[in-house]
Amino acid sequence: MQLSLGLGQILLILLVVGVAVGVFFIVRRQRYVKSLRDQGWTFEGSPGLDRSYGLNCPPFGLGYRRTIDDLIAGSTSAGVPFAVFEYNSLGYVAAVVLPRALPELYLGTAPRPGAEGMQKTAGAWTVTAKDPGWADAALGAIGGAVDAMAAGGHRVDLSVDGARLVALGVPRDAAAMRAFLEALAGVAHGLASPALAAFEAPRPPAELSLYQRPDWIYRPGDDRFLDEVVANRGGFGHEARDVVLGTVQGIRMIGLTHNWKTTRTETSTDSDGRTTTRTVTDNHSEEILEFHLPWHFGDLSVNWPGWGNRVRFESSDFDRAFKVRSQQPKFASDVFHPRQLEFLLRARPLPFAIESGRVRFDLGSNTPERIMHCADFLVAFFAGVPGFVWADLGHTQPPIHRDLDGF
């Protein structure tokens, strides 16, 4: 006997199966959340990125596309506050509160991707820190607790990030998570030792930031800063994304991606001679990086298209690599002295222009690495400007110390 189903019956079966699958996952999710709350913890399904403020060491502080999910908060049996959440695609991460901010430190069976510092081996562990003295003191305080954590079958992938102890690889099951957090609390207790008070570090960032630049601010979006930079004003739907704000040697910096839209009308004619029109929306984007000088400097540009008269120098290598333009050739010649030319040949900066106290870079793509490179270059460039040039500009002292030049 052959059973034949119509299209409507097939669709009905698929609908029933889909509903059953959806109900299954909803019920499973509710049971999981209940198991967490039964531990005395709170659960938030869609937390904001602000819940990760103050964390700036890898995996935090890297890149732009940052997301957190499933925030679980509470305290261990010893009263140590913690937060567990899913970060990017790394699974559950735990952040346990410490009584004071401490220097950056990583400890695990392998180096933490993206972390910087000197590495040493301590038994089964690889330790990464910038200060060997701090690493030794920390190991002395937490070594026993870390070994006990591993002996309990827990993954050891830890970092000290400001005023929190961070652990990767937190189990999702409520009972296993509690056991993991209790073991982690022992490590946090060691870091709270008065013997480590001498290593207290500066306060962590108040907002999202960039790794190694904790004084900079990263915001996924903030349209207000479009009013403070040179940006395309046509079209509509203007938005600023991946905004980076900072100060370097007293120079205010704004980096962002500017998105906007325009519309146009397209007309087409079919084979029967009928004409139709439609409105097409085009998306546009530009990468912006500006530094706003708090002191006077002359106008000039390097490899900036169509701006000012070209100034040539005695170095043919430099002239092949760079096109310097300025309405004041002598000023440009004084700024680009032989050692400055050598520095630019080594640094290979992105195209930039200085005009009316605003330094603009042709960023190409908005990445933390490019912004950091431009910031470091600009400081070294201004530090290499001769003292007599600053004096001619009306400065009694160079605004950036000469020791920071790129020579």
The closest alpha carbon to 218, from 92, 86, 52, belongs to 52
Q: Determine the pLDDT at residue 193.
A: 94
H or E element at residue 181: helix 174-191
Same domain, yes or no: 249 and 338: yes
Number of domains into which the chain is organized: 2
* Tokens read off for 314: 């005695």
Which residue range(s) make up the domain with 231? 217-258+286-404
Same domain, yes or no: 60 and 171: yes
Q: Determine the pLDDT at residue 267.
A: 85
Would you say 69 and 84 are in contact if contact means Cβ atoms under 8 Å apart? Answer: no
Instruction: Kindly tell me the sign of the dihedral angle through the C-alpha atoms of 30, 34, 35, 41.
Output: positive
Helix (H, G, I), strand (E, B) or coil at 68: strand
Helix (H, G, I), strand (E, B) or coil at 398: coil
Q: Determine the pLDDT at residue 18.
A: 64
Q: Which residues pair with 275 in a beta bridge?
A: 269
Q: Determine the pLDDT at residue 210.
A: 96
d(CA 55, CA 57): 6
Same domain, yes or no: 222 and 369: yes
Q: Determine the pLDDT at residue 374.
A: 97
Q: Determine the pLDDT at residue 270.
A: 76
Determine phi and psi for 143, rounding to 5 degrees.
-55, -45
Same domain, yes or no: 173 and 315: no
Q: Determine the pLDDT at residue 149.
A: 97
Same domain, yes or no: 235 and 382: yes
Q: Determine the pLDDT at residue 27.
A: 57
Same domain, yes or no: 252 and 316: yes
Is residue 32 domain-resident?
no
Mean pLDDT, consecutive 10-residue stretches, the chain (407 aa), reads 61 62 60 88 92 95 94 94 94 96 97 95 94 96 96 97 97 96 96 95 93 96 96 95 97 98 88 84 96 96 90 95 95 96 96 96 96 97 96 94 86
Same domain, yes or no: 165 and 229: no
| DSSP 8-state assignment for residue 383 | H
Same domain, yes or no: 351 and 316: yes
Is residue 44 domain-resident?
yes
Is residue 22 domain-resident?
no
- Residues with Cβ within 8 Å of residue 334, at least 6 apart in sequence: 386, 388, 389, 392
